[in-house]
Amino acid sequence: MTTLHAIILAAGQGTRMKSQLPKVLHPICGKPMIAYALETAAFTGVKKAVVVLSPGADEVKAMLPKDCKVAIQAKPMGTGDAVLSAKKALASTTSGHTLIMYADTPLLRRTTIQKLVQSHVKSGATCTLLTAHLADPTGYGRIMRNEHGRVIGIVEESDAHAAERAIREINIGPMICKTSALFE
Q: Is 16 a catalytic residue?
A: yes
In whole angstroms, give the CA distance from residue 74 to residue 35: 23
Residue type, 104: D
Nearest to 116 by CA among 4, 36, 32: 4
Strand pairing partners for 48?
Answer: 5
The 10 Å CB-count burial string (b at 16+, else e) for 108-128 is beeeebeebbeebbeeebeeb
State which H helix or E strand residue 121 sits in.
Answer: helix 110-123
The one catalytic residue in 16, 109, 145, 150 is 16
Report d(CA 3, CA 17) in Å as an integer.
36
CB 24 within 8 A of CB 60: yes
Active site (catalytic) residues:
16
